[in-house]
Amino acid sequence: MPSIDINFFRNRQNLMQSQSPIRHQVVIGVGIDLVEIKRIKKAIRRWGERFEKRVFTVQEIDYCGKEEVGFQRFAARFAAKEATLKALGTGLVGDMRWHDVEVISNPSGQPHLQLSGSVANCANQMGASQMLLSLSHTGNYAIANVILLGTTN
């Protein structure tokens, strides 16, 4: 039977207690949204730029493009906006706007959230220090998952 060096654990515990307080990240909000791509496609075809400009930022519109795959990208970004509002526990209320939640992609294509306006204020009041975003889409559906993290001692 292997032996356990109890002094190792005691020394480690003393070391941890002597250092400055450890800050841990905790989940403070989770949101998920599933969107039918044909619903977004129908709205874009019916309302065109009016719908796009109301819901998406110029950067999002440029990224999504006008090709068939663009409808999947628009749907994924719409789902991300909805999932973000769900993670905040608010929905689109008061003076919050769709543009207050923007999905930006780094050069490798990884999506990130950029909050502004009332949505950013709400996230700050909740103590959000980091936002995790995951997007996926198939031929029929787009899904987004948002996790808000905050810190605690």
In a domain, 20, yes or no: no
Higher pLDDT, 6 or 46: 46
Answer whether residue 62 shows pLDDT above 80: yes
Please count the structural domains in the chain: 1
In a domain, 3, yes or no: no
In a domain, 8, yes or no: no
Higher pLDDT, 12 or 104: 104
In a domain, 4, yes or no: no
CATH number of the domain that residue 47 is part of = 3.90.470.20
Q: How far apart, in whole angstroms, are the C-alpha atoms of residue 2 and residue 14?
A: 24
In a domain, 87, yes or no: yes
Q: What percent of the chain has pLDDT over 70?
A: 84
In a domain, 130, yes or no: yes
**Residue 134: closest CA among 124, 123, 142:** 142
The count of other CB atoms within 10 Å of the CB of residue 51 is: 16
**Domain encompassing residue 76:** 35-152
Q: What is the model's pLDDT at position 10?
A: 52
**Residue 120: closest CA among 143, 90, 144, 145:** 90
Answer whether residue 11 shows pLDDT above 70: no
Q: How far apart, in whole angstroms, are the C-alpha atoms of residue 9 and residue 21?
A: 19
Answer whether residue 100 shows pLDDT above 70: yes
The count of other CB atoms within 10 Å of the CB of residue 99 is: 17
- Cα 97 to Cα 81, 108, 117: the distances in Å are 10, 28, 8
Average pLDDT over residues 55-66: 93
In a domain, 136, yes or no: yes
Q: What is the model's pLDDT at position 147?
A: 98
Q: Are 135 and 114 in contact (CB under 8 A)?
A: no
In a domain, 14, yes or no: no
Q: How far apart, in whole angstroms, are the C-alpha atoms of residue 81 and residue 25?
A: 23
